[in-house]
Structure 1
Amino acid sequence: MVIVRRERSDAARNRAKILSAAERIVAAHGVEGLSMAEVAAAAGVGVGTLYRRFGDRSGLAYALIDRREREFQAAFLEGPPPLGPGAEPAERVRAFLRALADRTVEQLDLLLMAETASPLARFGGAYDAYHGHLVMLIGRLRPEADAYGLADALLAPLSAELLAHRLRRCGVGGERITSALDELVSGLVR
């Protein structure tokens, strides 16, 4: 039997305040500006509370990523069409890739830190969920195609590292990236 512990209401409120404060700080100063002392002060909690709750700065960063990731996954698994169920597969793939691009750009610095933490850090939990979702949609769209390989090909341009390079060093706009992804999906439909 698994016992699920519920978070105390005061702990839940503190967690929400801490994550909101951390999001504001990252938005204003980037990941480099994310200090435990500053977050604690902005959230109105003690620094010890932050360390007990998140361990360190990277634990806090992962909590920020996780919060947004849960929202994103709920949207493509259960949300309204075209991102959620109910739309045609090609329309859902397009909506998914656009939403993933937006989601990645929104937390680019946090995801860049997370994806480059170790050699295969990008792959696993969230990537597996994205990949499985695309495999399912591509399988419906083109049953004869290698959905597994095509899903990887569609996800590759959305790595935080490549997006940061394209957006910041090459001056490529986000619309150009999503337009190219739309073209790839159009190729699948033909």
Structure 2
Amino acid sequence: MRNRSQILAAAERLFSEQDPRTVTMGRLAKAAGVGRATLYRRFPDISSVAVALLDEHEARLQGQLVYGPPPLGPGAPAAERLAAFYRAAVDLLEHHLPLALGAETGSARFATGAYGFWRVHVRTLLRDARFPDPDAVIDILLGPLAPELYQFQRQTLGLSAERVERALERTALRLLEPAAGA
């Protein structure tokens, strides 16, 4: 367990300095103070290290969604909870975008446990708001959180994280407020 913690801490440092896809296993082993064999026993490649590290950050957010105070946690109206989820997800992307790009790109994103959790969470909020046919819109609502899209918005279009966040909040509130009152 100690080696795993050392590896993930070193990966966090290295991934914050450069794109995770450019970090080598040898460099990570050296930064973590472990042998290559130890590293390879725990993780077959850099992508699996990125996934494990991102899983830790996502697990914290999942805990807040289930047990945290409203509006992120239970107890707030569905529209406010979805807006809070968007704020938290944008914050996660803002602080860990290289990690997300290394771990959750393309169709691989849909196979992660976190994406499955986000789907269940958004579906629950849609059902709570009595949104018609929630299954048809869940992935549409999660689409703006794709790491590649967020990178495009931030780096290519030059949008601020706050601007992206406000747009997603407005989407959540406008989509679910009327349904909540029905």
TM-score (norm 1): 0.84
Percent same amino acid at aligned positions? 43
- Give the counterpart letter for 1:25 in structure 2: L
Partner of 1:164: 151
Partner of 2:118: 130
Please report how far the alpha carbon of residue 149 of structure 1 lies from its aligned counterpart in structure 2 after TM superposition: 2.7
Distance 1:128 1:38 in 2: 32
- Give the counterpart letter for 2:156 in structure 1: R
Please report how far the alpha carbon of residue 81 of structure 1 lies from its aligned counterpart in structure 2 after TM superposition: 2.0
Q: 2:12 aligns with which of 9, 12, 23?
A: 23
Q: 2:35 aligns with which of 46, 70, 74?
A: 46
Distance 1:67 1:144 in 2: 31
More helix by share: 2
CA contact (8 A) 2:21 2:47 kept: no
CA distance 1:85–1:144, change in 2 (3 Å): closer
Q: 2:132 aligns with which of 121, 145, 152?
A: 145
Q: Deviations over 1:53-72 (max 9, x none)?
A: 11122221221122212222
Please report how far the alpha carbon of residue 113 of structure 1 lies from its aligned counterpart in structure 2 after TM superposition: 2.8
Distance 2:116 2:49 in 1: 23
CA contact (8 A) 1:25 1:33 kept: no
Question: Structure 1: where are the runs of 5+ without partners?
Answer: 1-11
Higher relative contact order (CA 8 A, sep 6+): 2
Q: Detail structure 1 runs of 4+ shifted over 3 Å in the superposition.
A: none
Q: RMSD of the TM alignment (CA)?
A: 1.7
Q: Deviations over 1:36-77 (max 9, x none)?
A: 222222222112110111112222122112221222211212
Distance 1:13 1:87 in 2: 39
CA distance 1:111–1:16, change in 2 (3 Å): same
Q: 1:34 aligns with which of 9, 23, 32?
A: 23
Partner of 1:187: 174
Distance 2:93 2:155 in 1: 14
Question: Structure 2: where are the runs of 5+ without partners?
Answer: none
Distance 1:144 1:27 in 2: 39
- Report the number of matched residues: 176
Question: Is 2:166 the partner of 1:174?
Answer: no
TM-score (norm 2): 0.88
CA contact (8 A) 1:154 1:181 kept: no
Please report how far the alpha carbon of residue 95 of structure 1 lies from its aligned counterpart in structure 2 after TM superposition: 0.7
Q: 2:52 aligns with which of 55, 63, 74?
A: 63
